[in-house]
Chain A
Amino acid sequence: MLFRYKIALLNVLRNRRRSVLTLLAIQVGVISLVLFGGFVASMSDGMRENMIRSELGHLQIYKKGFNQYGHIEPEKYLLSQSDLTQITHIVEAITGVELITPRLDFSGLLTNGNQSIAIVGNGINPDKEALLSSAITITQGEDLFPQDSDGALLGQGLFNALNTKVGDYLTLLSSTTDGAVNAVDIKVVGAINTGVRDVDNRLIRINLPHAQDLQFTDGISRLVVLLSETDNTQVVIKQLNEIFEKEKLPLEIKSWSQLADYYHEVVKLFEGVFGFIKVIVLFIAALSIANTMMMAVMERTPEIGSIRALGATRYEIMMLFLTEAFYLGIFGSVLGVLFGILLANGITLAEFIMPTPPGSSQSYPIRIFIEWPVLWQTAITGIFVAVIASIYPAFKASRLLINQAMRSA
């Protein structure tokens, strides 16, 4: 048994050119998967954090039934000022919570006198929102402040579509919570970029009291909570649900994941593309490995005959070649992972700018994440492919007729 491992290792070292060719095939496959896997992980991570830190927060708290019936009877499903105080007190006591901020949602029309555009808007607390929405960039003008009582931030697309300027006054028309129509004047203080073009084409942000005036209410639609770690989201939700239940508060919580359908669709698409590329890369690597292993079998045919003559079974011959493939798989995968890490860091440091993705309004530099699950899964896949690709050559070797194999010397 030990001899098998020794012979296999010595055979790997014996024909260096062939082993290098096989190692290259494995390494190229592993490097490609490490880079592409890291790229997909960085894209997903970037998109997730962008959504959390521009709009969604890590979790949102609503009055129970808001998401189901809030659009029919909005006034019934708003959180009151006392709710706001009580919930804020509870949430801020939880470890890992960075901030909690209220929002009042509305929709309506924004007009410059010549043109009206349908909008979705948020009444916000600008101080807290500035911390929560760190992924939002001000493209023109300046940020919204609490003292800008009639100030408004417009999405870049909306800003362009209305052909407006910073300092212009526009009219915002919306229905109140009890169904009446109301209008307020807003002063454009700046344009913002959320990173999502569709959002930028319709978004308006105003101070919360201004939105409450527009809607004839002192309530809020939801509380948005930002955590220090995205991974803690479920833990915090569990804790809050337990507290809300204990305090008998009729509230419901949604995580960023439940609110980010677009994110899940894109991640699914990325994973599909990654899976497809993975299959192609591994198939090419497997073909190359099978080819070089077949060459090894042909080169060593007389030797295989001798080993069989000495009493080695077909199984022993198969295992001998599969052990060689296993060694090549390990060496190739480890080297591939190491080179993959180096290349990933190099590419990330080089900050190559990617073209703007569809649906996005921002370009960004390529980042490639070094993720341990991607690394070890890829390394194991490399070893697995090396062994699987060698099954046919090993089988052929085990089936050689002893006397014919020895005669081929």
Chain B
Amino acid sequence: MEVVKLNNISRFFSLGNSQVNALKNVNLSVNKGEFLVLKGSSGSGKSTLLNIIGAMDEASTGEVEIAGKPLNKLSDAKKSKIRQKHIGFIFQSFNLLPVLTALENVQYPLSLQGDKNSKNKAIKALAQVGLADFIHHRPNQLSGGQMQRVAIARALVTQPDIILADEPTANLDSVTAKSIMELMKQLNQQGITFIFATHHEFVLTQASRIIELKDGQIMHDKQKAAA
């Protein structure tokens, strides 16, 4: 089952009088349960592609479908609903809300959906990432690895179709990065689709599929047997 379908998408940015082509005629199809890594040098278009898949940016041309829903002509409010229900995000800088506890950070996306059982679901998600004892800690009371675990719990608590992770291990030491990757791999084995943008070698070894981008174009699309 396809959870992401990109049909000939391009993304142009205007930079003064010139135009920068961040993505050029990209076609991509991602199936449920994939552990896909986007690799490429800085400026290759990884983040732009993730943003478009995550309904946070719009393709200049081409068509985007997430979980069978076309994004192209959707209003901003409807795109927000797509992000709420179908997409989870894990960011390089964790991006937790500093005023909320770990539990509240995980509850927040559920509260946007009006979920009345958000507390129990959030506690369960935090337990799933090994933070059952830290639910009342604020982000500034957690280590980098713990913050990223909270971010993972926040991403998976809504049971999305895809989790997008932009350099999720870049701000972590190698030991913590490895444990975070192992956690995500475990979640992937439970059926959650992951799409990463990363340089991290360990992540590449875990990927079921690696797509290499260069100058906004897919250079290689390599399917691997599960690691």
Contacts and interface: CB of A to CB of B under 8 A. Distances in A.
B108 A309 contact: no
Interface in A288-311: 302-303, 305-311
A3 B111 contact: yes
Interface string B97-138: 111100010011101111000000000000000000000000
B51 A403 contact: yes
B56 A10 contact: no
B194 interface: no
Contacts of B98: 14, 303
Given A2-B111, A311-B112, A315-B77, A306 B57 contact: no
Contacts of B54: 309
A396 interface: no
Nearest to B48: A403
Nearest to A314: B76
Interface string A346-362: 00000000000000000
B89 interface: yes
Nearest to B93: A409
Interface string A1-40: 1110011001100100000000000000000000000000
Contact of B112 (A303, A310, A401): A310
Interface in A305-364: 305-316
Contact of B76 (A307, A309, A313): A313
A406 interface: yes
Contacts of A11: 99
B83 interface: yes
B56 A7 contact: no
Given A308-B80, A313-B77, A313-B80, A402 B57 contact: yes
B95 interface: yes
B100 A311 contact: no
Given A14-B99, A314-B76, A3 B84 contact: no
A309 B95 CA distance: 10
A306 B91 contact: yes
A3 B96 CA distance: 14
Contact of B91 (A2, A10, A311, A406): A406
B222 interface: no
Nearest to A409: B93
User: Which label, helix, strand, loop or mixed, suits the secondary structure of the A interface?
Assistant: helix
Contacts of A2: 111
Interface string B50-91: 010010110000000000000000001100110111000101
B52 to A, nearest CB: 9
B5 interface: no
A303 B80 contact: no
B154 interface: yes
B47 to A, nearest CB: 8
Given A310-B154, A314-B76, A402 B56 contact: yes
A165 B185 CA distance: 110
B51 A7 contact: no
B56 A309 contact: yes
Contacts of A303: 95, 97-98
A309 B111 contact: no
Contacts of A313: 76-77, 80-81
B91 A310 contact: no
Nearest to B114: A1
B109 A306 contact: no
Contacts of B97: 7, 303, 306-307
Contacts of A10: 99-100
Interface in B13-49: 47
Contacts of A6: 100, 104
B113 to A, nearest CB: 7
B144 to A, nearest CB: 15
A311 B56 contact: no
A310 B89 contact: yes
Given A3-B104, A409-B93, A312 B80 contact: yes
A306 B94 CA distance: 9
A311 B83 contact: yes
Among A2, A311, A312, A315, which residue has the most Cβ atoms of chain B within 10 A? A311
A311 B109 contact: yes
B81 to A, nearest CB: 7
Contacts of B154: 310
Contacts of A403: 47, 51, 56-57
A307 B99 CA distance: 13
Given A1-B111, A2-B111, 7 more contacts: A6-B104, A14-B99, A306-B91, A306-B95, A307-B97, A310-B89, A311-B112
16 contacts: A3-B111, A6-B100, A306-B95, A306-B97, A309-B89, A311-B85, A311-B112, A311-B113, A312-B112, A313-B81, A314-B76, A314-B77, A402-B56, A403-B51, A406-B95, A409-B93
- In order of increasing CB-CB distance, the 10 nearest A-B pairs are A311-B84, A10-B99, A306-B95, A402-B56, A3-B111, A311-B83, A313-B80, A403-B51, A310-B109, A403-B56
Interface of B: 47, 51, 54, 56-57, 76-77, 80-81, 83-85, 89, 91, 93, 95-100, 104, 107-109, 111-114, 154
Interface of A: 1-3, 6-7, 10-11, 14, 302-303, 305-316, 401-403, 406, 409
